[in-house]
């Protein structure tokens, strides 16, 4: 793989595990794959920034970044982990739609802002707010891979189809869409059926499912990726397997099962 790869965690719905996914995958990319990684917390709520203990504040706010008055580079903060940086959230991001619109209304503004990071990073993660807006459109255009956490319900599958259709309508480069089931409750029959059937039937649904675990919720107490504070937990194993699956698709290798297995057996040491 050459050049920077941009991953976005996205879903129209909130509370499906976008931020926990972005935080854990970004950490794995940096710590276990050795990629120079930056995570941009685009959600004005600043949950990803909180988990990395970074204050959700950008000098000059979103306006300065979007208008190009302050380079993105200036806003970057090092996390506590090697190879992993963060562009924090800012409360002004809540107006990002207006800012993007004011900056020319282009759906590719974000791509242009990210371009200078290509030399410095191997992987960029975009943690998006839940919405359909100019922000999400920008994110979808900027991304190489859209990672979509899905709650196992019939409706959520419809949402995935809508997203896939929307992306298919892009002119030129189109991101790859990869959904996975998140917050899966193994005790629920419906969850079990949907996750098992769909991942077999659809190539855009990952084989890995992340179970609903209180440990994942603990991330906001520990303020660290689950792969750091509980590296051997089943939650950490699930994120590791998901990352391996995404990586094997990136490199186009056929050994996704092997990669997932190997990652699942990892120790998660730093």
Partner 1 sequence: MTPDLAGFIASGADAQTWDEVVAEVLAALGQAFAVVPERGAPHGARRRTWFDTFDWRLYRAGLTLEYVAARGGGELRLSGAGPAGEAVEPAPGWQASRPHPLRDLPDGLVAARIGNLVAPRALLPAVTVSASAAVRRLLNDDGKTVARLLVEDSAVAGGDHQPLPPRLTIAEVRGYPGQARRAVRIVADVPGVRPVAGPLLADALAAVGRRPGDYSNKVAAAIRAGMPATEAVAVILLRLLDTIEANLPGVLRDVDTEFLHDLRVSVRRTRAALKLFGDALTTPLAPRNCALTGDDLARFAAEFKWVGDLTTPVRDLDVHLLGFEETARALQAAKPDDLEPFRAYLAQRRLREFRALNRGLRTPRFASLTEDWRERLTRIRDAANGGTVATARSGQSRKAAGETAGTLAAERTRRAFAKVTKRGAAITPASPHDALHDLRKRCKELRYALEFFAPLHDPAVYGAVLGDLKRLQDCLGEFQDTEVQIGEIRALATSMLDANEAPAVTLLAMGEVTAALAARQRAARADFERRFAAFAGPDGQRRMSLLLGEG
| Site residues, partner 1 (CB under 8 A) | 52-55, 75-80, 82, 85, 223, 228, 269-270
Given the complex with partner 1, which of 192 and 223 has the nearer CB atom?
A: 223
CB of 214 to partner 1, least distance (A): 22
Q: Which is nearer to partner 1, 223 or 249 (CB)?
A: 223
**How far, in Å, CA of 100 to CA of 31, rounded?**
33
Q: Which is nearer to partner 1, 77 or 112 (CB)?
A: 77
Closer of 13 and 77 to partner 1 (Cβ): 77
Based on CB atoms, which residue is closest to partner 1, 184 or 226? 226
C-alpha neighbours within 13 Å on the C-beta side of residue 143:
25
Q: Which of 144, 110, 118 is nearest to 3 (CA)?
A: 118
Closest separation in Å from C-beta 135 to partner 1: 23
> Do the Cβ atoms of 182 and 21 come closer than 8 Å?
yes
| Residue 223 C-beta: closest distance to partner 1, Å | 7
Q: Which is nearer to partner 1, 32 or 245 (CB)?
A: 32
Shortest distance, CB of residue 55 to partner 1, whole angstroms? 7
Q: How far is the CB of 173 from partner 1 (least distance, A)?
A: 30
CB-wise, 82 or 161, nearer to partner 1?
Answer: 82
Work out the number of other CB atoms within 10 angstroms of the CB of residue 49: 26
Least Å distance, CB 76 to partner 1, is 6
Q: Can you give the three-state secondary structure of the chain, one letter per residue?
A: CCCCEEEEECCCCCCCCHHHHHHHHHHHHHHCCCCCEEEEECCCCCHHHHHCCCCCCCCCHHHHHHCCCCCHHHHCEECCCCCEEEECCCHHHHHHHHHHHHCCCCCCHHHHHHHHHHHCCCEEEEECCCCCCHHHHHHHHHCCEEEEEECCCHHHHHHHHHHHHHHHCCCCCCCEEEEEEEEECCCCHHHHHHHHHHHHHCCCEEEEEEECCHHHHCHHHHCCCHHHHCCCCHHHHHHHHHHHHHHHHHHCCCCHHHHHHHHHCCCCCC
Q: In the bound complex, what is the minimum distance in angstroms from residue 239's beta carbon to partner 1?
A: 18
């Amino acid at each position: 793989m050459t050049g920077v790869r941009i991953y976005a965690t996205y879903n129209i719905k909130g509370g499906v595990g976008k931020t926990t996914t972005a935080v854990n995958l970004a950490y794995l990319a940096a710590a276990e794959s050795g990629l120079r990684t930056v995570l941009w917390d685009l959600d004005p709520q600043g949950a990803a920034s909180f988990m990395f203990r970074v204050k959700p504040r950008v000098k000059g706010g979103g306006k300065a970044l979007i208008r190009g008055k302050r380079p993105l580079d200036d806003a970057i903060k090092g996390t506590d982990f090697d190879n992993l940086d963060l562009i924090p959230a800012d409360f002004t991001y809540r107006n990002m739609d207006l800012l993007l619109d004011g900056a020319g209304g282009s759906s590719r503004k974000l791509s242009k802002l990210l371009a200078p990071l290509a030399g410095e990073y191997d992987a960029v993660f975009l943690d998006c707010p839940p919405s359909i807006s100019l922000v999400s459109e920008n994110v979808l255009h900027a991304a190489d891979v859209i990672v979509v956490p899905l709650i196992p319900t019939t409706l959520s599958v419809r949402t995935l189809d809508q997203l896939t259709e929307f992306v298919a309508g892009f002119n030129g480069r189109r991101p790859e869409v990869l959904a996975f089931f998140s917050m899966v409750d193994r005790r629920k029959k419906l969850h079990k059926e949907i996750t098992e059937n769909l991942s077999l039937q659809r190539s855009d649904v990952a084989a890995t499912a992340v179970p609903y675990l209180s440990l994942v919720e603990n991330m906001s107490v520990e303020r660290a990726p689950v792969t750091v504070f509980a590296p051997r937990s089943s939650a950490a194993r699930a994120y590791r397997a998901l990352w391996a699956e995404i990586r094997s698709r990136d490199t186009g290798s056929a050994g996704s099962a092997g990669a997932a297995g190997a990652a699942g057996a990892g120790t998660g040491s730093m």
